[in-house]
Amino acid sequence: MEEGKTSAYFVADTMVTAEMKDHEPDNTTADRIPGMSGVVAVFTFIYWLLALSIVLSNSLTILVVWRSPSLRTIPNMYIIALAVADMFTGLSVPFFTLTDFPSMMVYLATRPYLCLARYLLIYTFLSNSFLCIFCIALDRFVFLVYPLRYQRIFTIRKTGFIILSTWVVSLWVGLSTLWNMNWQGKCEFYSILCRRYQLYFLVPYMGAIMLLTAALYIGITRVALRQRNAVSSLIIIERVKEDFLKRTVIRSARLFLVVYGMFVLCWSPAYVFTILGLTVGTEPLVFRVCLTLGIANSGINFIIYACMSKEFRKAFKGLVRGKCSVCNLWKGI
């Protein structure tokens, strides 16, 4: 009789223990999450450092132009638009690097639209940067080819409308990712969107803008060289205006040509390896390096302006002196 009771107690205890185990939280998933590798940690640190420098440099660009009446020109409206797009790119970089954290990778693997939002933002801001670079080239081309009609063609209102249009197009490009999602349970660059959408829309779209901008700058270079050689023979234009045209037109074209050249230099590797990744496949580390170079371009324009534009450099120095004067005033108080 005692043996029967003991067996019954043992069976009941075993059933209770099994039931308690069924209700315990499952920590095996957390145990299976690998730690962040050293290489990924280094790249994540670089991305966050770049994000900070991009936001700071473009904020300074906007502040310098806004505080300097001499820089409030129509061409510089595109510079401000480009700085705003680049600044938003910098702000979106930390959100884009969420998958570098293993716990966040698991979290995003169950939330497809949150994962897609990373690509929606980066494509929106990158598209606007491409379009701003194109608009700058178009503005300089019209200025050189049609100097007498330039002020009628590009008024402040029309320029504002063009900049607004670039944002409308860029938002459309970003939102187009919503109906081209190819969710496979992984928040990865090459699998989140339909391959055909990336290969036959996004890649040609970016490439067409780069080629059109290149064609405009080739035309700008030819016209600028021709005008530089012919302007001294003009009789109608006074000598002062001749010197002004020689200096400002060529310098302006050279400045924006360098901006475009650095843009192409920084983004071409990522562009090429995106095509390779969608067709034959690439090493993730190589693509990370190329993407880092492209992101770095968003913070390099401030350095170009400071090095090549005397007006921008003078305005920046005035801004710094003004800040220092305010600081000294507060110290005196």
Mean pLDDT of 41-63: 91
Q: 121: domain CATH number? A: 1.20.1070.10
Q: What angle do CA 166, 169, 174 make, to 5 degrees?
A: 120
Whether 5 is in a domain gets the answer no
DSSP 245: I
> For residue 166, with 0-12 CB atoms within 10 Å meaning exposed, 13-18 middle and 19 or more buried, which class applies?
buried
pTM, to two decimals: 0.79
Whether 244 is in a domain gets the answer yes
Give residue 235's pLDDT.
46
Give residue 32's pLDDT.
46
Whether 16 is in a domain gets the answer no
* Closest by Cα among 233, 213, 235, 231 to 223: 231
Give residue 49's pLDDT.
93
Whether 25 is in a domain gets the answer no
| Helix/strand/coil for 319 | helix
Tell me which amino acid residue 33 is. Answer: I
Long-range Cβ contact pairs of 279-287 (< 8 A, separation 24 or more): 279/199, 285/39, 287/189
DSSP 258: H
pLDDT interval class at 208 (50, 70, 90):
very high
Q: What angle do CA 306, 309, 312 make, to 5 degrees?
A: 65
C-alpha distances (whole Å) from 78 to each of 52, 121, 172, 221, 304 are: 22, 20, 20, 20, 15
**Residue-averaged pLDDT of the chain:** 79
CB-based contacts of 326, cutoff 8 Å, min separation 6: none
CB-based contacts of 39, cutoff 8 Å, min separation 6: 285
pLDDT interval class at 36 (50, 70, 90):
low
CB 80, CB 65: distance < 8 Å: yes
CA dihedral 225, 228, 233, 234 (to 10 degrees): 110
Whether 15 is in a domain gets the answer no
pLDDT for 149 beyond 50: yes
Whether 249 is in a domain gets the answer yes
Beta strands in 113-264 (DSSP E): none
Q: First CA to last CA across the chain, in angstroms? A: 96
Whether 28 is in a domain gets the answer no
- Helices 301-308 & 74-96 angle (0-180, nearest 10): 150
Total domain count, the chain:
1
CB-based contacts of 211, cutoff 8 Å, min separation 6: none
pLDDT interval class at 157 (50, 70, 90):
very high
pLDDT interval class at 5 (50, 70, 90):
very low
Residue 324, domain extent? 36-332
Whether 324 is in a domain gets the answer yes
